[in-house]
């Protein structure tokens, strides 16, 4: 089972460049998430989407945009990358609000370095 | 706004010692609570979760956690740790709508 798949796995960007991280899940989940993980700060929520067609800001949305393309796909875009966006990015999904307590499933992470 | 705090940044234990990792959250309504583990070089895996019922929940690998609503806490415990428990542990809370917030994590090192 593929679960949550995110691409690319590694990327180096120059300051000011743009890029999109892609995420897809094959579990028919309603909710999808983008987190960034930085040493000592845990996972911080960037954006989430509780259902197809909706997106909401998380804890650290500045500098990012998202698109919930369909139920399966949720992309994260950096319009003008900054060194502070160097991080490991995780996409995740879960069944959604009608199924309390269900697990979040994570992708394997995307390592992004902005120089 | 909801938030999650974890008491310890880094814990070092000898094998067979008992473990308790603290987690507190801020949110006044109904919550779902989770503990996730991240082993070196791997992505996050669910250890256990609470959403209703018995406040003492048991998870995989001998871990358990107790939800104390009056204290807004969800502490993780294990009676006897092993070297293979060396990992980073994250507490998380699902509160309003479908927003899931994680704590900053606790790094556990178990010395053989």
pLDDT digits (tens, 9 = 90+) for B56-68: 999 999 999 999 9
Rounded CA separation B110/B83 (Å): 5
Q: Please tell me if residue B43 touches chain A, with a CB cutoff of 8 Å.
A: yes
Chain B: give the shortest CA distance to residue A74, in Å: 15
Rounded CA separation A9/A26 (Å): 18
- Contact residues for B70 (Cβ-Cβ < 8 A; gap 6+): none
Whole-number pLDDT of residue A97: 60
Q: Please tell me if residue A109 touches chain B, with a CB cutoff of 8 Å.
A: yes
Neighbours of B28 (CB within 10 A): 8
Mean pLDDT of A82-103: 84
Rounded CA separation B31/B84 (Å): 30
Chain B: give the shortest CA distance to residue A31, in Å: 7
Task: Select from B29, B92, B98, B104 the residue whose CB has the most chain A CBs within 10 Å, as the one to mutate to test that interface.
Answer: B98
B98 contacts in A (CB within 8 Å)?
A: 30-31, 48, 50, 94, 96-97
Q: Is the dihedral of CA A111, A113, A114, B3 positive or negative?
A: positive
Residue A100 pLDDT level (bands cut at 50, 70, 90): low
pLDDT at position A15 over 90: yes
Rounded CA separation B5/A94 (Å): 23
Q: Which of A92, A3, A111 has the alpha carbon at shortest distance from A49?
A: A92
Mean pLDDT of A82-104: 84
Rounded to 5 degrees, what are φ and ψ at A51? -165, 165
Q: Please tell me if residue B28 touches chain A, with a CB cutoff of 8 Å.
A: no
Beta pairing partners, A51: none
pLDDT at position B7 over 70: yes
Q: Which residue has the higher pLDDT, B30 or A54?
A: A54
| Helix (DSSP H) and strand (DSSP E) numbers for chain B | 0, 12
Interchain CB distance below 8 Å, B102 and A43: yes
Nearest CA in chain A to B52: A101
Residue A31 pLDDT level (bands cut at 50, 70, 90): very high
Whole-number pLDDT of residue A1: 59
pLDDT digits (tens, 9 = 90+) for B77-108: 999 999 999 999 999 998 777 889 999 999 99
Mean pLDDT of B12-37: 93
Q: Is B80 helix (H, G, I), strand (E, B) or coil?
A: coil
Q: Please tell me if residue A59 touches chain B, with a CB cutoff of 8 Å.
A: yes
User: Average pLDDT of chain A?
Assistant: 92
Residue A40 — left, alpha, or beta (φ > 0 → left; ψ -120 to 50 → alpha)? left
Residue B41 pLDDT level (bands cut at 50, 70, 90): confident
Rounded to 5 degrees, what are φ and ψ at B69? -60, -40
């Amino acid at each position: 089972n593929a679960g949550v798949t995110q691409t690319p796995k590694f990327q180096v960007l120059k300051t000011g460049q743009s890029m999109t991280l892609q995420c897809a899940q094959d579990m028919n989940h309603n909710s999808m998430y983008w987190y960034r993980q930085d040493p000592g700060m845990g996972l911080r929520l960037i954006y989430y989407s509780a259902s197809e067609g909706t997106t909401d800001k998380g804890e650290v949305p500045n500098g990012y945009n998202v698109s919930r393309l369909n139920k399966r796909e949720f992309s994260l875009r950096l319009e003008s990358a900054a060194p502070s966006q160097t991080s490991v990015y995780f996409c995740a999904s879960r069944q959604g609000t009608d199924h309390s307590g269900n697990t979040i499933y994570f992708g394997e992470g995307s390592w992004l370095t902005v120089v | 706004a909801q938030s999650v705090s974890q008491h310890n940044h880094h814990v070092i234990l000898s094998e067979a010692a008992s473990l308790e990792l603290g987690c507190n959250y801020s949110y006044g309504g109904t919550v779902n609570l989770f503990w996730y583990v991240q082993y070196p070089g791997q992505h996050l895996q669910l250890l256990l979760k609470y959403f209703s019922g018995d406040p003492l929940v048991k998870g995989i690998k001998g871990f358990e956690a107790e939800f104390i609503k009056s204290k807004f806490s969800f502490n993780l415990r294990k009676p006897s740790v092993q070297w293979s428990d060396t990992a980073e542990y994250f507490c998380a809370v699902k509160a309003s709508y479908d927003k899931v917030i994680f704590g900053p994590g606790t790094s556990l090192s178990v010395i053989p």
